[in-house]
């Protein structure tokens, strides 16, 4: 009887030990870390893998995610150097680099980052005017990131980047900006229209100029061709006259023939249009002889 009781007790003890061991086996997932305290003091940081916790001695103080995290903070009122109050909300991207410092470095780390972001934003915007604030987002983002990254090193946090999500000036400022943008767009439209009209007039003028040049070139070419044709005609006539004289010289004509040709030339020159022709004496005698011969020829026929 006592032996059975002892076996039962041993079995229960073994079962309890096994349950304790199983319940204290911990698996840390990827991109996570566990901060372990032993008897209330920091003991170790468990990385990814299988770990065994000592029962009643160790406890998991904090489970930390090592992934990049995004925090969207609500809009904060800020005042520019020219006394314009705006609402600006920020988005902070950060990751935990030291789980121990993140656990023990600061109480409520996210709240601390939010407050630090708000004060830093007010300091930076306070040195800028409204126009510079609206056009210097990248500069403001870089300045805030640098300041936050330096301040959160002691908390085991690395600030990766900071973005100004929205910049909301007062409604009257927005209306004025919209009117200014509308006026600017209208001005650019008028400039584009004027440039288009100017370009159109230039193209028309260039077209007229080219047309006039082409017409002048055509007239010039026509005159050149007419002059060339006249020159060629004159050269042809002169060549024909020269050839005729050459042939006449080669034929060695008598004085009578020359006088007869001269008479024919005078007749052609008169051509019935001249009212008075002066004929040289030698040609007159030749003409009389020709007339006499013609009369004799007629008498003989009779």
Strand partners, 72: 91
Selection from 175, 188, 80 nearest residue 134 by Cα: 80
**pLDDT at position 260:** 58
Backbone angles phi, psi at 24, to 5 degrees: -100, 5
Residue with tokens 């983002």: 141
Stretch (H or E) spanning 89 = strand 85-96
**Residue 34 CB neighbours (<10 A):** 20
Interatomic CA distance for residues 118 and 151, integer angstroms: 13
**pLDDT at position 118:** 92
**pLDDT at position 293:** 43
Stretch (H or E) spanning 211 = helix 171-251
**pLDDT at position 194:** 87
**pLDDT at position 97:** 93
Q: Which residues of 273-282 are buried (b: 16+ CB within 10 A; e: fewer)?
A: eeeeeeeeee
Interatomic CA distance for residues 212 and 210, integer angstroms: 5
Q: Which residues of 283-299 are buried (b: 16+ CB within 10 A; e: fewer)?
A: beebbeeeeeeeeeeee
| DSSP secondary structure, 23-67, as one string | HTEEEEPTTEEEEEEETTEEEEEE-SEEEEPPTTTEEEEEEEE-S
Stretch (H or E) spanning 261 = helix 255-270
| DSSP secondary structure, 107-168, as one string | SSHHHHHHHHHHHHHHHHHTTS-HHHHHH-HHHHHHHHHHHHHHHHGGGTEEEEEEEEEEEE
pLDDT tens, residue order, the chain (302 aa): 667 777 787 788 888 888 888 888 899 999 999 999 999 899 999 999 999 888 888 999 999 999 999 999 988 899 888 888 889 999 999 999 999 999 998 888 989 999 999 999 999 998 888 888 888 889 999 999 999 999 999 999 999 999 998 888 878 877 777 787 788 888 888 888 888 888 888 888 888 888 888 888 888 888 888 888 888 888 887 787 777 667 766 665 555 556 556 656 555 555 555 555 555 555 555 555 545 445 544 554 55
**Residue 233 CB neighbours (<10 A):** 10
Q: What domains sit in the chain, N to C, each tagged with a CATH number?
A: 2-64 (no CATH), 69-169 (3.30.479.30), 257-302 (no CATH)
**pLDDT at position 30:** 93
Query: 46 and 65 in contact (C-beta within 8 Å)?
Result: no
**Residue 8 CB neighbours (<10 A):** 10
| DSSP secondary structure, 276-294, as one string | -----HHHHHHHHHHHHHH
Interatomic CA distance for residues 41 and 37, integer angstroms: 5
**pLDDT at position 297:** 45
Strand partners, 141: none
Output Rg (C-alpha) for the chain, integer angstroms. Answer: 60
């Amino acid at each position: 009887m006592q032996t059975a009781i002892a076996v039962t007790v041993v079995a229960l003890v073994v079962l309890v030990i096994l349950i304790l061991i199983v319940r204290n086996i911990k698996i840390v997932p990827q991109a996570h870390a566990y901060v372990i305290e032993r008897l209330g003091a920091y003991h170790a940081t468990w990385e990814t893998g299988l770990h065994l916790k000592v029962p009643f001695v160790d406890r998991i103080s904090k489970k930390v995610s090592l992934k990049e995290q995004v925090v969207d903070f609500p809009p904060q009122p800020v005042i520019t150097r020219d006394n314009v109050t705006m609402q600006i909300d920020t988005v902070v991207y950060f990751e935990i680099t030291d789980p121990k410092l993140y656990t023990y470095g600061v109480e409520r780390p996210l709240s601390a980052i939010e407050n630090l972001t708000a004060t830093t934003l007010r300091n930076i915007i306070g040195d800028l005017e409204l126009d510079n604030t609206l056009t210097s987002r990248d500069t403001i983002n870089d300045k805030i990131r640098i300041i936050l990254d330096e301040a959160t090193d002691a908390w085991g946090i690395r600030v990766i980047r900071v973005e100004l999500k929205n910049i909301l000036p007062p409604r009257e400022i927005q209306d004025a900006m919209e009117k200014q943008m509308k006026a600017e767009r209208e001005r650019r439209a008028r400039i584009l229209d004027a440039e288009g009209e100017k370009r159109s007039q230039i193209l028309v003028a260039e077209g007229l100029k080219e047309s006039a040049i082409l017409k002048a070139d055509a007239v010039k070419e026509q005159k050149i061709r007419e002059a060339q044709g006249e020159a060629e005609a004159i050269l042809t006539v002169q060549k024909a006259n020269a050839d005729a004289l050459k042939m006449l010289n080669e034929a060695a004509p008598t004085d009578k023939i020359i006088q007869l040709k001269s008479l024919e030339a005078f007749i052609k020159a008169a051509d019935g249009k001249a009212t008075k022709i002066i004929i040289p004496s030698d040609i007159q005698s030749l003409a009389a002889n020709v007339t006499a011969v013609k009369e004799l020829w007629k008498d003989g026929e009779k």
